[in-house]
Amino acid sequence: QTLKYLLDNGARVAVSSHLGRPKDGPEDKFSLSPCATRLGELLGKDVKMAKDCIGDDVSKLVNSLKDGEICLLENTRFYKQEEKNDKEFSKKLAAPFDIYVNDAFGTAHRAHSSTAGVTEFIPTSVAGFLLQKE
């Protein structure tokens, strides 16, 4: 509901998420690439897949989005710093964004970089519809 609302209202959306518990960095079996395909099917639009969740390439992809377009960042747990709520990692993760929407009720209690740390570096943080409902 939140993603559809944002996209229908012309937002440029980047989704961040995690999958599994990779041990030593990126592992193909934990890539979010298949999720981008499925999300695209559910939304009825192309979901661009980032090769990482931080860095210049991510910033370029996010900045290239047009109104109503969406991308999915690669698995945040490919970095050990994610679960440690590392300040520098949080800053890198937040870099391309001006608004943060948390709609992940199931992980909202975790003090990870992608749920808590980024809020220190993104000027506006809000709850999505699911989080508000819960």
Domains along the sequence of the chain with CATH: 2-133 (3.40.50.1260)
pLDDT, one tens digit per residue, over 24-65 is 888 889 999 999 999 999 999 999 999 999 999 999 999 999
User: Is residue 106 over pLDDT 70?
Assistant: no
pTM of the shown model: 0.91
> Is residue 101 helix, strand or coil?
strand
Residue-level pLDDT at 107: 66
- Residue 112's nearest CA partner among 132, 89, 128 is 89
- For residue range 58-102, what is the model confidence (pLDDT) as tens digits? 999 999 999 999 999 999 999 999 999 999 999 999 999 999 998
pLDDT at 131: 78
Radius of gyration, CA atoms only, the chain: 14
